[in-house]
Structure 1
């Protein structure tokens, strides 16, 4: 897969994740956040199971089976997924959606910073202004005029670290193992089981609530997790992590579009400017490196 195709696939992923916000909003009316997270990630693991089995048999036939160290890396990715989702959800309980939407985007500039500090990856110079522009665009899109850092805000800020680490590491792990589907499904299984275990102990749950939230869970489990997160693992084998973070930040733009279409949300001039800034940042990190090569 070429870099351009990988980046186009990342845009499709952002589109799916943006649409999933509507389903997640409806699902929260019937089940707790950790129950919703646990079940939808297990549904995602079920979707990827046939591809995992085929890949496992291929590795066995080629004499390259996964070892215990590989399982540990996959489990680590699953824990990063769980930490990001859990801390973000805990923060949303005690902060505004506006603040949470903006503060979650902090993972975008964190990815190139962590990539340089941990892996000594120096991205193209366009990534740095692109990441900051995405952050400003997310701020404008959120409609916020000022931020008052509360306890909930602190949880959401903390969630940006595991999100950034996940974006940084997922492609690297999948590429080294040459097993993107096993990596994807394995991390879903770890995240889903841990989240579900916590929900059964700490959240009120009922079969009636799960049935009421069945369609949102299926939509997000099949598309957002099974399709989009798996595609992320595949795409990031060929796309730079910093580029991927900026492209995936367009999720906020697509969420605004689906909110406008399905939920009657409306953007003011500030929100439209934020969408434009994120879009221009995406284009810049793709086109400027090509101009340099020419």
Structure 2
């Protein structure tokens, strides 16, 4: 029963994150990218910090706090890279393209694990990567086979999110999730504030719709979703969770059509479907690897 409730919770996360693409697009009407990110991560940092206060009395967590801070900083840098490139890219592409290209982070994760941990990539992982390239070509390449600035930045943002997923899967086994979440949000906030100054985006002229959009991003899409995701993944293995979370791109497109009246072409639909298939195949490859590892462990007992 807990497993099915957890899967339901993860689906809710994808719905909220799907709405986040539309909220970001609406916020960009009156705010600049690093303004959005600074407010978003400031709100998330404060809320995560308040939640973490209740855990400070636990001796086990206190002893692990120093390591968790270092790990959280790495996660925060990757998170900042992902969100900054995603938000800037959204200025030059549509929310639906932004959502599906971001979903490619799931395909990239196994290749990061191969480079850093020397984990083998299965045949399905390779097929998934090839399909993702075909999907990106259909979805994003112009008639002269060039990639638009927005789509190119979004592809780079997928790399940032892939590193964040990889770091999270490695560090959450060693350190308290509450500390990791808080530190990565603070790190992303500090980097966003620094970028705000560097790129001279200090002047705020925000509309009511802009404030409501960025508060949705900070409170609901960031704080609530990251906490809910962490809680749900206690009962759902990360491979199944990744497949469920990849549906974020589908909901992002649905909300973009309903709320922003985005026009979708047949070529875009085919490209999106191929990318979604690539994401699922890549995750099935990971699931296969986990099952083989479990069998080897059982044989050694």
Task: Sort the TM-score into its range (normalised by shorter chain).
Answer: 0.7 to 0.9
- Taking a change above 3 Å as real, the CA distance of residues 268 and 146 of structure 1, as seen in their structure-2 partners, is same
CA distance, structure 2, for counterparts of residue 286 and residue 3 of structure 1 = 19
Contact 1:184 1:233 in 2 (8 A): no
Name the residue aligned to 1:19.
Answer: 19
CA distance, structure 2, for counterparts of residue 101 and residue 283 of structure 1 = 16
Name the residue aligned to 1:166.
Answer: 164
Contact 2:16 2:221 in 1 (8 A): yes
Residue 112 (structure 1) shift? 0.9
Residue 116 (structure 1) shift? 2.0
Name the residue aligned to 1:251.
Answer: 248
Corresponding position: 1:215 with 2:196 = no
Name the residue aligned to 1:83.
Answer: 81
Contact 1:105 1:138 in 2 (8 A): no
CA distance, structure 2, for counterparts of residue 153 and residue 272 of structure 1 = 16
Secondary structure at 1:209's aligned position in 2?
Answer: coil
Alignment equivalent of 1:175, drawn from 173, 176, 183: 173
CA distance, structure 2, for counterparts of residue 107 and residue 15 of structure 1 = 18
TM-score normalised by the chain length of structure 1: 0.77
Residue 40 (structure 1) shift? 0.7
Contact 2:30 2:210 in 1 (8 A): yes
Residue 173 (structure 1) shift? 0.9
Name the residue aligned to 1:185.
Answer: 182
- Taking a change above 3 Å as real, the CA distance of residues 200 and 212 of structure 1, as seen in their structure-2 partners, is farther
Residue 197 (structure 1) shift? 3.2
Contact 1:43 1:222 in 2 (8 A): yes
- Taking a change above 3 Å as real, the CA distance of residues 51 and 123 of structure 1, as seen in their structure-2 partners, is farther
Gaps of at least 5 residues in structure 2 are: 295-301
- Taking a change above 3 Å as real, the CA distance of residues 261 and 88 of structure 1, as seen in their structure-2 partners, is closer
Residue 113 (structure 1) shift? 1.0
RMSD: 3.9
- Taking a change above 3 Å as real, the CA distance of residues 150 and 278 of structure 1, as seen in their structure-2 partners, is closer
Aligned residues: 290
Name the residue aligned to 2:28.
Answer: 28
Gaps of at least 5 residues in structure 1 are: none
Name the residue aligned to 1:72.
Answer: 70
Alignment equivalent of 1:224, drawn from 192, 202, 221: 221
